[in-house]
Amino acid sequence: MGFKAFQFCDEISESIKAQGFVKPTPIQEKAIPIVMKGRDVVGLAQTGTGKTAAFVLPILERLNQGQRGKVRALIIAPTRELAGQINDVVVSLGKSIGIKSMTIFGGVNINPQMKNLRSGVDVVVACPGRLLDHMNQKTIVLSHLEVLVLDEADQMFDMGFLPDIRKILKQVPKKRQTLLFSATMPKEIQFLAQECLTNPETIETAKNAAAVTVTHALFPVSQHLKTELLLQIMYKIGTGSVLVFTRTKHRAKRLAETLVSADFRAASLQGNLSQAKREKALAGFRDGTFQVLVATDIAARGIDVSQISHVINYDIPDTTDAYIHRIGRTGRAARTGDAYTFVTAEDSGAVRAIERVLKASIERRTVEGFDYKAAESKKNEFARPSRPGQSSNRKPSGAGSTRDGRSFSAGGFRRKKS
């Protein structure tokens, strides 16, 4: 089935073509007709399945009728990056019908946003905190609102935004269409959906199944050898774009530094970064300046880099939902990707839980030639491993880590190659 069946107006159909979308994704196929009927919808589908266009296209078709210059659609998203990405989709699909869309998020000057709002826009894509600021200051008028979208609802819950969302809901017109999209459905989101949607239709695709195009593999390894193993795998990966997840901010930062000292174009994305640095890391990863991005779960919220080839869980995620979220970032829409997870002996319970959700056992892999038995005392976790075909140019560096790999000596990072 193509997009024709939805009978979008010619301009929107052209924009879909220009975007390179040939065939609707499963969630789009199911959700679009129902959203176009004006029904409230709960859309459940994992990350990377095309949820954005599933709500943006019907919204544009609706906005094409009726008056312009009033905020008639409000899309709420958990992070600035995500809001920016959704806005980009609205702009590129809505350009042909002259729809005006803008983002609202914190961390930047509020005045340009006010000016933009005053100039008249049709769609606002907002993060909850700054949106509330505008609502409180009455710099946004929502009395013409027709459609409200809560996107990535589970992430908004994880990030503690539900109280803000409830405040927002109290101040928007009751008569409206409400759409809620989420990759997972924790109880809190079910409650939220009951509160703010009217007689919703729930649409699910491949519940809790990670993208089919993703190859999963486990790499059993001792904690103290994880960094060395990562470097070896990086050499094998070659040119792919790699997203690495660590459990802590500190580890993300240090690991990125290690990768840089091993000559990889790497950056970290973690909560301690300034907004400017965060954006630089993300933009650099998107445009290929950085081949590797090392991130924590929270910091990585909303990253959509469609060309990620590998997600590597340096530390296994805490929950199966987090696993699905992380993996959803590779193998997005019709692409293939690899999901590698480093596992230590302590992770066996977490592995079983993930395998249960995937309904399959995950292949165990080893890296040929890797010294899995390297003793902790002898290992040099941050030294540059010799590349295949290269004579050893390893330097003594005195870098080390504790058993759990948390504490890294600075020596390994400061060391400069000769």
Binding site for Mg ion (CB under 5 A): 51
Question: Pick from ligand ADP, Mg ion, none: which does 261 bind, CB < 5 to 8 A by kind?
Answer: none
DSSP string for 281-326 = HHHHHHTTS-SEEEE-TTTTTT---TTEEEEEESS--SSHHHHHHH
Contacts of 175 (CB under 8 A, 6+ apart): none
Q: Please identify, among the stretches 41-49, 122-130, 165-173, 271-279, the one whose residues bind ligand ADP according to the rule CB under 6 A.
A: 41-49
Closest approach, Cβ 402 to Mg ion, in A, equals 38
What tokens appear for 7 in the block?
């009978």
* Residues between 292 and 311 with contacts to ligand ADP, criterion CB under 6 A: 304, 306
CB-based contacts of 82, cutoff 8 Å, min separation 6:
151, 152, 301, 302, 304
The least CB distance from residue 282 to Mg ion, in Å, is 16
Q: Is 286 in the site for ligand ADP (CB under 6 A)?
A: no
SS3 50: coil
Residue 222 as a binder of ligand ADP (CB under 6 A): the answer is no
Query: What is the rounded distance in angstroms from the CA atom of residue 10 to the CA atom of residue 15?
Result: 9
Q: Which residue is nearest to Mg ion (CB)?
A: 51
Dihedral through CA 71, CA 77, CA 80, CA 86, nearest 10? -70
| 326 touches ligand ADP (CB under 6 A) | no
25 binds ligand ADP (CB under 6 A): yes
Give the list of residues 6+ apart from residue 150 with CB closer than 8 angstroms, or none. Answer: 76, 156, 165, 178, 179, 180, 181, 192, 196
Position 332 contacts ligand ADP (CB under 6 A): yes
Minimal distance, residue 274 CB to ligand ADP, in Å: 26
Query: Binding string to ligand ADP for residues 102 to 141, with x set by CB under 6 A, is what?
Result: ----------------------------------------
C-beta separation of 155 from 302 below 8 A: yes
Smallest gap from Cβ 151 to ligand ADP, in A, equals: 7
Give the whole-angstrom CA distance, residue 97 versus residue 103. 19
Strand residues in 113-193 grouped as ranges (E): 123-126, 147-150, 177-182
Q: Torsion angle, CA of 307/271/385/399, rounded to 10 degrees?
A: 180
- Closest approach of ligand ADP to the CB of residue 161, in Å: 17
Contacted entry of Mg ion, ligand ADP, none for residue 50, CB cut-off 5 to 8 Å set by kind: ligand ADP
- Kindly state whether residue 18 participates in binding ligand ADP, applying the rule CB under 6 A: no
Cα 272 from chain centre:
18
Identity of the residue numbered 381? E
From candidates 15, 30, 31, 52, binder to ligand ADP by CB under 6 A: 52
Residue in the block written with tokens 């880099």: 305
306 binds, among Mg ion, ligand ADP, none (CB under 5 to 8 A by kind): ligand ADP
The entry of Mg ion, ligand ADP, none near residue 61 (CB within 5 to 8 angstroms by kind) is none
Q: Is 51 in the site for ligand ADP (CB under 6 A)?
A: yes
Instruction: Tell me the window of 19-27, 30-38, 111-119, 130-138 that interacts with ligand ADP (CB under 6 A).
Output: 19-27
Q: Which is nearer to Mg ion, 211 or 233 (CB)?
A: 211
Per CB under 6 A, does 380 bind ligand ADP?
Answer: no
- In the complex with Mg ion, the residue whose CB is nearer, 162 or 374, is 162
Amino acid at position 85, single letter: Q
Residue ranges that bind ligand ADP, judged by CB under 6 A? 21, 23-25, 28, 45, 47-53, 304, 306, 332-334
